[in-house]
Structure 1
């Protein structure tokens, strides 16, 4: 009888590229422009990314496209969001019965707080050049910059598993 061994190193393999995008565009407009430039079909995914923190939970929007011919999946993910908490004012003054809303900024990847969106590309083969993708992205109006992120510098890699 043969013995089969699993090598856990195979599961740690990073098989995606991550692009940081700085822009003031709304997510749906950015997805539209990316679709035009890269000839893909990003559409809003119902499965948003849920993150729980001590202040509450928040969802990050996600646009998804899958190229069946090449086996490449594209994810446009929001990096910044807010958790809104209701707090009661306990002091005895004119505004003692007022409920305040406190907003806390939450980041998908907290080490990249200035990044607005991430474009995660899985199974990118050698035929699609990452530099060409970056060049096309940087031609979008109202997009400040787009650049590749070194995946080894990401602390919260689990947030990118979906």
Structure 2
């Protein structure tokens, strides 16, 4: 029997809208603020989005919301996670120091703090409606659409 190999191009995984958010808020605080402005109910998922990045296992916090009216699922995902790593100080072999580094879900968008992914199989959702509301928030410095077909690793955004 001949084996069939699948690649990402066999599936249309770009049936979503993606919004980049720049904000220094903690994830739970930003989810709360977005809920109050958009009248949504983003809740922290039980499991984070776990990926291996640069040989390290990283957990990206993720919040989800299902809109019954539009029959769409949305996700608020941290794009940047700070990790701590102990290392021995150069001057003293008996002291260790913590090195904080940042890891990114989408490497090409290092300046983006959060991603708002909206599943849109029917291509009927207009992300500009959300952007107009979010840009008015003082806690958000910038919001914009990220073209889903321009993402180098869209498989990182497969959440179900």
Give the TM bin, normalised by the shorter chain. Answer: 0.7 to 0.9
Task: Say if 1:128 and 1:15 are closer, same or farther in 2 by CA, change over 3 A.
Answer: closer
Structure 2 partner of 1:46: 46
- Greater CA drift, 51-60 or 24-33: 51-60
Contact 1:71–1:123 (CA under 8 A) maintained in structure 2: no
Deviations 1:35-59 (A, max 9, x none): 1222211011121011213452221
Contact 2:25–2:139 (CA under 8 A) maintained in structure 1: yes
The gaps in structure 1 that reach 5 residues or longer are 1-7
1:29 matched to 2:29:
yes
Instruction: Give the 5 Å matches for 1:111-150.
Output: 111-123=108-120, 128-150=125-147
The gaps in structure 2 that reach 5 residues or longer are 1-7
Q: What's the C-alpha RMSD, in Å, of the aligned pairs?
A: 2.2
Deviation above 3 Å: which 4+ runs of structure 1? Answer: 124-128
Structure 1 partner of 2:63: 63
Q: If the length of structure 1 is used for normalisation, what is the TM-score?
A: 0.82
Contact 1:38–1:136 (CA under 8 A) maintained in structure 2: yes
Contact 2:14–2:154 (CA under 8 A) maintained in structure 1: no
Contact 1:48–1:59 (CA under 8 A) maintained in structure 2: yes
Q: If the length of structure 2 is used for normalisation, what is the TM-score?
A: 0.83
1:16 matched to 2:16:
yes
Structure 2 partner of 1:106: 103
Deviation at 1:28, TM superposition (A): 1.4
Rg comparison, structure with higher value: 1
